[in-house]
Structures are given as C-alpha cells and as structure tokens.
Amino acid sequence: MNQSLLVWGCILIFGFPILTIILGQVGESLKRRKHPLAPFIQQLQRFVLPPLSILAIVRKILGIQEGGIALQILETLLGIAIIYTSLSLLKALLTPGKKEYFWQISVPNLLFQVVRASLVLGIVAYIIANIWNIDLSQAAAALGVGSLVIALALQDTLSNLVSGFLLLADSPFKKGDWIKVGDLTGKVVDMNWRAVRLLTFEEDLLVIPNGALGKQNILNHSQPTPKSWVSFSVSFSRNDPPNRVKEVLHEVYEQITGTVGPAYILTKSFNDFSISYSIWICGKDLFPKFQAAEKFKTRLFYAAKRQGLTIPYPIEYQYISDASELDGQKSTPENQQQLVEYLLSLPYFISVSSQVLTKLVQKTTVEYYGTEEQIIQEGEFVRGFYIIQNGSAKLTIKDTTGSEQEVTRISNGDFFGESVFMSGRPSIVSVTALGDLQLIKIAADAAANLLLENPKFAKQIDESLDERRKAIGRVQRQIDRLTKNITDNGNLGGSSILKQFS
C-alpha cells in the first residue's frame, strides 16, 4: 500500500474527528466566557473542516486532481468558508473600540474596514485566478477602459474615500474625542470610509462626509490632554473689597467636583457700579467643565448672600434704592423680633426666656445654601449651632472606602452642629443641603454659653439627640466601624453632651 495513502487515511480517519471534537469543546468553553475568539473557533469547526476533509478525500484518497466543475465548486465553497472564518479572526484581533485583551490591536474603524476589504479581495482574486483559471490581467485592462467614466461618476465618493485615508494617516482625532468643526461641536462616535459621526450636546447624531471634513479647521478638545478650560465673568459691588471677593470665590470653587487643579481668579475691570472678575476653571473633559461652571455660578449666589457680598442689579433698576434688600444678613429690630418668635416656637427653646433669646439673636445670622452645598464636613470643627428655618438637609458619615453613607434627613425646626457644645471635638457627620436651605446660625460661643447657663435647655437638646445617636450607631454598625466606644475621634456617638458640663 502507498505510504502516502496510508498517512492520509489515518489523518482522515483519526485526525479530522479528533480535531473536530477538540475545536468543538474549545469553542463551547470560549463561548461561555464570551471570548472574542469563540466565533472563529466554532466557524473553523463548522464551515472549514467539512469541505477541507471532503477535498482531502477527493484529491489524496481518490487521486482526482482535475475533477471538472464539481471540484471547482467544492474548492470555491472552501474559499468562501475561509473568507467567512478569517473575518471572524480579524474581528477578534483588530478592534476599533477599547482593547479587552493584551493581544488585541486597537485600530481606527476606517483601517479596520480597509483590512477586511483587502482580505476578501485577496482571497476572491485567488479563487478566480487559480480555481477558475480566469486571467485577471485582461479583466484589469477591461476595467481600465472605463476607469475615467467611473471616476467622474463617483467623484464625491472617491473624495470622501481619499479624505478618509488622509484623516487616518494624519490622525487629528480618534473615537471618543470631542471636536469642533466650523460651528459644530460633538463627540466622535464612529469613523468609516465615507463619513465621521458626531454626537452633539443635544444628543443628536451629526454625520459629516470626509470630503467636507477635510476642508474644515478641526479643533480637538480632547488632545493633547482631555483637560479643558472655561472662563466667565462675575461682578460685585465696588464696596466689596476685591481680596474678600476672591477669598469667597476660592471657597466656592473648593466645593465644586469635576475640576482639575486650582481656579484662576483675576480682577478684570472697574465699572460704574461694580468690579468685574474673570474666573478660569479647568474641567476633566469638555462636558464636565460646563457642569462645573454651572455649579459654580449657582453656588456663588448662595455664598455671596451668606457673606454679605452684593451682586449688583442692572443699572436701570437703580439697585441702591433699598439697601435692606441687598443684605439679607443685616440685623434689624424687626427681623430680630421675628427670630425670637421663631425660636420660642421650637420645643427645645421652651425653657429659654424671651429676654435671653433677644440677646442671643444679636449673635445670630441667617445663611442661605443651595442644592448639594456642604455646610459641615465630617472631621472639621463646627463654627456655630444651626437651626433649619426653611428647607431640608441630609446627615452622612464616610465608610472605610470614603463613600458617603446617609444617616438621616432633617428639615424645618431641626438643628445640627451640636458638636459646638463639645469643646475641641470635630463633627462626626457631614451636613449637605438637599435644596434651597435657609439657616439660623448661632455663634459658637453664644450657643455654648446658653447651654452652660440653662441646664433645662441642655437637657432638651440632649434628649433631642437620642434618635440621631441611634441612627449614627446603626450606620456605623452597617459599615463595620462600631467599637465599644463609638465616640472615638471626639464625635458625639453614644455619649451625652451633659457630661461635658458636669
């Protein structure tokens, strides 16, 4: 028996079945893990091995080398199966998106499409030339006759294609970048041989042909770094000292998220009734910088109101006509009496006389905060005793990962900042506004003196804190930070404030 025939017989009898089983098991295993090579392995088993085994039987076992049209069709089917399977392998190796495995190669979508087309054309050309014995040089000559007509007919298409290759070679942007083309700004979501697709701020899809894109100036907001700057101006009264204004502006900026590095605040100009300041903020990306600027402007309103700074009205309104409207914190006999009446209506002030409260409100201010503004930060020393006059806030503590865990929510008539009664100890909780918040702030020394001079008031405050201590304890147990004395680090935890004055 011919040795070669024996070898091929063993391969067909044992090799192909074993290889089919191995590929099937590997393919199923990769499919369960959602591995990118799973489709390639499965298609290799299902579409390539069967015609390959048949072709091996015909050529190596039966010895048929020239089988006419039937053999050509079989070889063509094998070529088609190889094209289909190779495209799956190419899709796994080259990815237009983010790489999932180290062996993958990240390429622009346009290059990915070109490689796919080249692979298909190469295998098709081999099938035509070597299986069907067609002379491609004659076909190329025939196509060359009509090339000028085709080029004129597809002028725009070819322009887009050439521009696409030039953009690919120059790489002025990549998928995910924020770019500005003319007056249009958007995020690159797709690039192909014909056009680039942008997702605008309004969540609309903008398609720009490569030919038109190649004729425009392109501003890439995401390169060389994603960081992006935004500037805007604000104005304050000429009576507000610039250094004081800049201090408040910096305090507002420190509470803004989504920014990178410090803010730059410059005195811009002196106007008839105001001083203008230019503020520069750097965002982590294009969109976050606008969000940061919006938050800054919103919180600046409340900060200016708390600090007694004046944001001038337009000149035509004659903003100096009523000074009391410009300073919400200014204390007058009328609003002092209103504060006294409000405090007397609260259950924990029932033991305090109106005469004592009249003196107390002289060291009291009304402060305003906006949504998500933080009044007290965990671990910091409290500057006063706060009572909510209008609005609501949440109390939070940090877990071991630094994430905020909500303890409870408080609203009209509730108080916080009780750690002011415990000298030298910081706050255990952070307090954040849930919306527009109006607070009565009693100076720290005035609040501490009231507690010392009025034992009944101290007892009522202590009783009011019982539920809050329990809530803090529950949250601390949930985040596995409970110890025998949950008042570690000087927080209020489970101890009574009365012990501080016994």
Sequence-distant (6+) residues with CB within 8 A of 125 are 136
Q: What is the 3-state secondary structure (H, E, C) of 185-246?
A: EEEEEEECCCEEEEECCCCCEEEEEHHHHCCCCEEECCCCCCCEEEEEEEEEECCCCHHHHH
- Domain boundary residue, one of 325, 343, 359: 325
Query: DSSP string spanning 158-174?
Result: HHHHHHHHHHHHH----
Q: How many domains does the chain have?
A: 4
Q: What is the C-alpha separation between 496 and 502, in angstroms, rounded?
A: 11
3-state secondary structure of 338: helix
Q: What is the C-alpha separation between 180 and 199, in angstroms, rounded?
A: 11
**Which DSSP symbol is given to 429?**
S
149 found inside a domain: no
pLDDT (0 to 100) of residue 295: 92
Instruction: Check whether residue 66 and residue 42 sit in a common domain.
Output: yes
CA nearest neighbour of 290 among 233, 228, 199:
228
Sequence-distant (6+) residues with CB within 8 A of 344 are 350, 352, 354, 357
CA nearest neighbour of 410 among 426, 396, 425:
396
User: For residue 309, how many other CB atoms are within 10 A of its CB?
Assistant: 20
Instruction: Check whether residue 487 and residue 410 sit in a common domain.
Output: yes
Instruction: Check whether residue 492 and residue 366 sit in a common domain.
Output: yes
pLDDT (0 to 100) of residue 369: 92
**Which DSSP symbol is given to 465?**
T
Q: Assign residue 262 the CATH number of its domain.
A: 3.30.70.100
Q: What pLDDT tens digit does each residue of the chain (502 aa) get?
A: 567 778 888 888 888 889 999 999 999 999 999 899 999 999 999 999 999 988 888 888 877 777 678 888 988 999 999 999 999 999 899 887 778 888 888 877 767 877 888 899 899 988 888 888 887 776 666 555 555 455 445 456 556 666 666 666 667 888 889 999 988 899 999 887 778 899 998 899 999 988 788 788 899 988 888 888 999 999 999 889 999 999 999 999 998 888 888 999 999 999 888 999 999 999 888 888 889 999 999 999 999 988 889 988 654 433 333 434 434 444 455 678 888 889 989 988 888 888 898 899 888 999 999 988 999 999 998 889 999 999 999 999 988 888 888 999 999 999 999 888 876 688 999 999 999 999 999 998 898 888 888 888 888 888 888 888 888 888 888 876 544 444 444 455 545 554 544 4
Q: What is the C-alpha separation between 160 and 168, in angstroms, rounded?
A: 12
pLDDT (0 to 100) of residue 149: 52
Instruction: Check whether residue 357 and residue 471 sit in a common domain.
Output: yes
Is the torsion defined by CA of 486, 492, 494, 495 positive or negative? positive
Contact 300, 232 (CB under 8 A): no
Instruction: Tell me the CA distances in angstroms from 306 to 184, 365, 438, one per residue in order.
Output: 40, 9, 10
- Domain boundary residue, one of 90, 116, 143: 143
Contact 364, 443 (CB under 8 A): yes
CB hemisphere CA count around 185 (13 angstroms)? 9
Sequence-distant (6+) residues with CB within 8 A of 350 are 344, 460
Instruction: Check whether residue 254 and residue 176 sit in a common domain.
Output: no
Instruction: Check whether residue 476 and residue 345 sit in a common domain.
Output: yes
CA nearest neighbour of 227 among 294, 283, 288:
283
Sequence-distant (6+) residues with CB within 8 A of 415 are 348, 385, 386, 387, 388, 461, 464
136 found inside a domain: yes
3-state secondary structure of 130: helix
- Whether omega for the bond prior to residue 51 falls within 30 degrees of 0, making it cis, is no
pLDDT (0 to 100) of residue 396: 94
- Domain boundary residue, one of 143, 170, 201: 143
The torsion region of residue 257 among left (phi > 0), alpha (psi -120 to 50) and beta comes to beta
150 found inside a domain: no
CB hemisphere CA count around 484 (13 angstroms)? 0
Which structural domain range is residue 210 located in? 155-220
